Amino acid sequence: MIRKTVAGEAPELVWFKSSYSGGNDGESCVEIAVAPRTIHVRDSKHTSGPRLTFAPAAWANFVPHLKG
């Protein structure tokens, strides 16, 4: 999935569904977009809604804690 940019925003982001997404309803999806200095995370049901951003080092520290 690609998100169009608005003037003054970062270059176009390429979004993909996280392999950790799932759920019983099939609608619990997290999407990730990787930029050179930032990892973007959003809810796939609300693509124009809020998103989290992480520095690459913070993301690398966060991801190992997702496996349960």
The confidence band for 64, taking pLDDT boundaries of 50, 70 and 90, is confident
Residue-range definition of the domain harbouring residue 47: 2-66
- Find, among 2, 3, 45, 57, the residue nearest to 21 by Cα: 45
- Six-digit token pair at 24? 């019983």
| Number of independent structural domains in the chain | 1
Least confident of 12-16, 26-30, 53-57: 26-30
Task: Give me the pLDDT at residue 43, please.
Answer: 87
Sheet holding 51-54, edge to edge: 2-3, 13-17, 30-34, 39-43, 51-54
What is the C-alpha to C-alpha distance for residues 22 and 26, in angstroms, rounded to an integer?
A: 6
